[in-house]
Structure formats: structure tokens, C-alpha cells
A and B are shown apart, each in its own frame.
Chain A
Amino acid sequence: MKEIIRAAVAVIVVSALLLYINSQLGKTSGSSGNDTITVYNWGEYLDPELLDQFTEETGIRVVYETFDSNEAMMTKVEQGGTSYDVAMPSEYMIEKMKEEDLLIPLDHSKIPNLDNIDPYFLDLPFDPGNEYSVPYFWGTVGIAFNPDLLEEDFDFTSWEDLWSPELRQQVILVDSAREVMGMGLNSLGYSLNSTDESELNAASAKLDELTPNVKAIIGDEIVEMMRRSEAAIALTWSGQALDMMYVNESIDFAVPEEGSNLWFDNMIIPKTADNVDGAHQFINFMLDAEVAAQNADWVGYSTPNAAGLELMDPEVTGDERFYPDEEIRGRLEVYRNLGPEMTGEYNERFLRFKMGMN
């Protein structure tokens, strides 16, 4: 009995000691005071130095948490029990959250730095007048390819190139219904938000023709496969393509001319926010030209911040693959929330395409 009591006491002492160390660590990493905000973001999607800088400037301590999918983020917000003050979901999720009444409208008078944002990225159909959201990063869907592994010369200025008979078993697709269906629709010149039965049928048929060229349909492993030159061509997001290029310099990226998807991650204030004022301060801080430039540098994605762009390395911002000119941008489309029924339809068609692979 004595031994058990002794062991229990030891456990309690160790826990108390660790708790004490943790509270000391918490104090040194943040500033004093109870003024905190909780930021809920994708993993590896914000330069941690900026959080310290924000705390220094405003005295508000930042609790930083990460999520791995829009759906997981929304579930946590919906369930309550947490007090996220700022979150960075993608555009279609904002439409959905708006419908579910999970967002707090932004007070534009508290976000003067909104003027730094390129007007092209403001007032978009998923959030007219930017009532609830401010763009954080943006990008496109396109084709990452490794010319060293291809026998013929392809520049992938057209989706049609993917269907070339020379590319048997070479193409990797990202495992996502909207991207793959969107590619099918775009290659035929239709909108990637199409809800027209005959257009969707045509896209499905077109995708089935691609089957002999498809090597795999996978998720985040794409990056690693492309980096190791295990695959030559991948349908992917611009940010992932950049991740690949960072390691494997032979890789190139192209956004086909027929059009493609333009995606956004945006800063919003969920209904669960405790510190709405602090959240506004944080959003305004992130929109500051210098901060946005530093963050874009660290993350590597394309920033919508026009003032920030001017401070960045022109070699990066002049790269048309990641900062396409107006003409290409004009052909890009933002995903709309298609409603549960059409989303189901897209998923169903994608599933049938995948099953046809075997």
C-alpha cells in the first residue's frame, strides 16, 4: 500500500512540475495580460515570427491552432465549445458558413489596410462586398510537369495535351471531385460550376477517355512523388506545385488557357469569437504591406496584397505561373457552393470515373 501511495504522489509531483514549467514557457512565449485571440489556420500557413510581432505591436497574445481540412474547421466552429477568433477557410466553405449563420460581419472601418488588396480579389461572388471575409492567399489549379521525364515537348497550355496518346500512364490526378470534374468541364470549354446535365455528361465521357493516361489518383503524396521524379505530370494546386519546385528544380507549372479554378483562402471571424476587436486588429495587421510580403515569402503562395507585392522580390512576383497576368486571370473561375444535391452529383460522377479506372 505504501508503495502505491508513494508512486501516486510521485506522479502528482511530476505533473505539477510540468504544469509549472508549461505555465512559465507560456509566459515567455507570449506577453503578459489576458488579452488573447485564437487563430485557427491551415498547418504551415503563417510565418510564426509575425505572431510575435503582432503581440509586440498590440499587446494581444495569439493562441495559434491548425486544422487540416475545411470540413474539420467548420465542424469545430459549429459545435461550439471553442472560441476561435480568426480562421482561414477556403471560399466555398465561406458560402456554406454564411448559410449556416456561423460568421460575424467585418467592420471595414477597423480594417483600413483593406485598401492594400488588389481590387481584382475583392467583391467576389462568394462574398459580395467582402462583408464577411478578406482574402489571405490565392492560387490556381494547373498542371505540374517534369520536362526531363517526357519524351515529347509539351507546354500544357491546353488541357487537351493531357489526352495525348504519348502520355500513357504518366498523369497523376489529385483525389478531389471538384478539381477533376472541373478539369473535364474546362477542357470542353464549359464552366467548372456547371450544373447542366448534358455538360456534365459530356465532361464525364471526356474524363473516361483520359483513363489510359492516368497513373494514379492520390492526395498529398503527389508532392513527394513529383519531387522524387517518380511521376511526370500532375493535376494539382499552384501552391503544391511550388512545393515541388522548391525541391526538384526541373518541375514546371502551367495553367491551361481554356480556363481553370481560382481559389482563395480567406480570413473570417467565426460566430464563436470571444475577442472580436482583437480579431479585427489581427486581420488588419496581416493585411499590412510589409507583413503580407514577409508572410508570402515564408509561405510561398500568391498574396492578393498589391502593396505587399511591390515589396517582394520581382523575380517571384513576375513569375507568370504563380502571378498570372490579367488575360489569364480573366479565364479563371472561383468555385461556387453548388448545394448539397449538386455536390453529391459531382462526387458521384467522380467516384464512377475512379471506379472505371480498374
Chain B
Amino acid sequence: MGKQSNVQKLFLALVFIILYAPIFFLIFYSFNSNGTMSSFESFTWEHYAAVFEDTRLIMIVFNTVIVALLSALVSTAVGVLGALAIVYLKNRKLRSTLLSLNNVLIVSPDVIIGASFLILFTAVGVRLGFASVLISHIAFSIPIVVLMVLPKLLEMSDSLIDAARDLGASGRDVLTRVIIPYIKPGIFAGFFLALTYSLDDFAVTFFVTGNGFSTLSVEIYSMARAGITLTINALSGLIFVVTVGLVLVYYALNRRNRTPFTGVKK
């Protein structure tokens, strides 16, 4: 592949415009003083003010973030252990079975996972609310983390571990000083993917929310059913800006840490 031709550039630009246009369209109307999406009247901040005045909405935003952070954290911890277990299984058959079971969870529709969680929670007697949402988010994030960490583990050469052992490392040292540093990019990737999955999940959450606890996607859905108000636009605009900010921070950190990687930490 030499230089990009003009056609290629045009195509790329077109794809990005199609992907981003709806978002900017939405944000554009969040500044509309006429309360609808049909015609732009004049510029106003009032819909943004409405978002900040609505404490219930802000609490829901925080709830969503808390659930996302905690579920990503726990599922990363469990997922990394799971990936380690799968990779170091001696029994090949069991190993591939476990891996398939993990993949089945990723491809099975959210609606089914959500419905089965609802049935499980009510059968066991768990009150729907924060705990039920957190548990289900952890559960559907674990397979994703496993999938993100596995390739890194498989890519790691066994001789690294043998060398560490030769040099007198204990089992614990091997794990914390060789394996985990090596798969660190996979761990972070898993964490961020779990985070985004949790943030935007609607189907599973829809089934297991209750008792006054709600997340943003579920809330926006109920609001939209009653007719879109521009408060939703304003809120979406804010979230978009925050997301872009996070992505920028992530890249800045990545750039700083891009030092040659040796595989072993002292």
C-alpha cells in the first residue's frame, strides 16, 4: 500500500461523517430554544441547566458510573484468574470446553441473559436494585475480560517462566513479577472494554433494575417513550464530551508509558 489515493480519503471521510453525523445532529439541537427537534430557533443553555437541576437524573448518571467502575474492577480480577486457569489447564479437552462455554456467554443475546438473571434473582430472593444490577454486570463482563487476556497469555513464551524459575523465583514471584506485568496491556484492555459494556448495557439492566435504582440507558429509554425532550439531547451531549475527554486522557497516558517492554519487572 503506497499513499492513500483521493478515493480512499473520500471514502474514509464519508464513513466518519456517517458515523458522527447523528451524534452532532443530536448535540446541535440540544442548544435549541424551541423545545423540539424540528426547527432551530435560537441558542440556549436552558436544557443543560435542566439536566443539572434534576437531581434524580444526576444520581442516575452517578449510579451508572459506579456500577460500571465496580463491575469492571471485579470482573477484571475474576476474568484474569479465569484466563490463567484456562491456559494452565493440563487437560486439553476440558480446556477447550471451558473456552467454548466462555464464548457461548459472549454470543448469547443480552435479552436472554437479562431474563434469566431476573428469574434467578427473584427465585433466590435478591431485591432488585443496586446489587442485582452490579452482580449481573460483573457476570456478563467476565467472559469479555477472559477473551481480552487470553491472547496475551498464549503469546507469552513458556521459557520466560522457566527462566524465572531457574533464577529462583517462587510461584508467587512468577505470577506477580513475570506473568501479570506481561499481560498488563490485556488486563487494561479488558477493564476498559468491561467498563464500556457496562456503561451502555440496556437489555440486561432493563430486566434487573427496580426499587428506585435505574441506570442511564434504561432511564433514557423511558424518557424517550414519552416523547423526546431536549434534556436527553443535552445529557447525551455532556456524556459525549466526557467520553471524548476520557479517550484523550487514555491516549496521553498510553503515549507516556510507551517504553520498550522487556517482560520482566525488577
- Interface residues, chain A, CB within 8 Å of chain B? 1, 3-4, 7-8, 11-12, 14-15, 18-19, 21-22, 25-26, 28-29, 38, 42-45, 63-68, 76, 79-83, 220, 223-224, 227-228, 243, 247
A42 to B223, CA, bound (A): 9
**Closest CB-CB distance, B72 to chain A, in whole Å?**
8
Contact with A along B166-193 (1 / 0, CB 8 A): 0000000000110011001001100100
CB pair B121 A26 closer than 8 Å: no
Chain B residues whose CB sits within 8 angstroms of the CB of A223 once the complex forms: 227
Give the docked Cα–Cα distance between A70 and B90 (Å).
53
Across the interface, A14 reaches (CB within 8 A) one of B69, B121, B222, B227, namely: B69
Q: Which residue of B lies closest to A229 (CB)?
A: B38
Contact of A82 among B70, B128, B188, B265 (CB under 8 A): B128
Q: Could you say which of A7, A44, A64, A79 contacts B226, with CB atoms under 8 Å apart? A: A44
Q: How many angstroms between the C-alpha atoms of A25 and B66 in the bound complex?
A: 15
Cβ contacts under 8 Å, B191 to chain A: 7
In the bound complex, do residue B227 and residue A26 qualify as a contact, i.e. CB atoms below 8 Å apart? Answer: no
Q: How far is the CB of B59 from chain A (nearest CB, A)?
A: 5
Tell yes or no: B63 within 8 A of A by CB.
Answer: yes
- B226 touching A43, Cβ below 8 Å: yes
Majority-rule SS of B interface residues: helix
Find the A residue at minimum CB distance from B132. A81
How many residue pairs link A and B with beta carbons under 8 A? The number is 104
Stretch from B13-21, B138-146, B210-218, B235-243 at the A interface: B210-218
Pick from A8, A79, A83, A243: contact of B227, CB below 8 A. Answer: A243
Q: Are B212 and A220 in contact (CB under 8 A)?
A: no
Interface on B for A, CB 8 Å cutoff?
35-38, 55-56, 58-59, 62-63, 65-66, 69-70, 72-73, 77, 118-119, 121-122, 125-128, 132, 176-177, 180-181, 184, 187-188, 191, 210-212, 214, 219, 221-223, 225-227, 229, 265
State A246–B97 Cα separation when bound (angstroms): 60
Given A43-B222, A65-B214, do A3 and B184 touch, yes or no (CB 8 Å)? yes
Complex: A63 Cα to B121 Cα, angstroms: 21
| 8 Å CB contact of B118 from A25, A79, A227, A247 | A79
Q: Say yes or no: A82-B211 contact (C-beta < 8 A), given A68-B222, A247-B36.
A: yes
Interfacial chain A residues near B184, Cβ < 8 Å: 3-4
Complex Cα distance A184/B121, Å?
Answer: 44
- Given A1-B265, A81-B128, do A22 and B121 touch, yes or no (CB 8 Å)? no
With A14-B69, A42-B226, A64-B56 in contact, do A1 and B177 touch (Cβ < 8 Å)?
Answer: yes
Complex CA gap A358/B65 in Å reads 46
Q: B70 touching A15 by the CB < 8 A rule?
A: yes
Counting chain A CB atoms within 10 Å of each CB, the highest count among B119, B187, B212 belongs to: B212
**Residues of A with C-beta under 8 A to B119:** 79
B73 touches A11 (CB 8 A): yes
Alpha-carbon distance between A67 and B210 when the two chains are bound, in angstroms: 11
B210 contact from A4, A26, A68, A82, Cβ within 8 A: A82
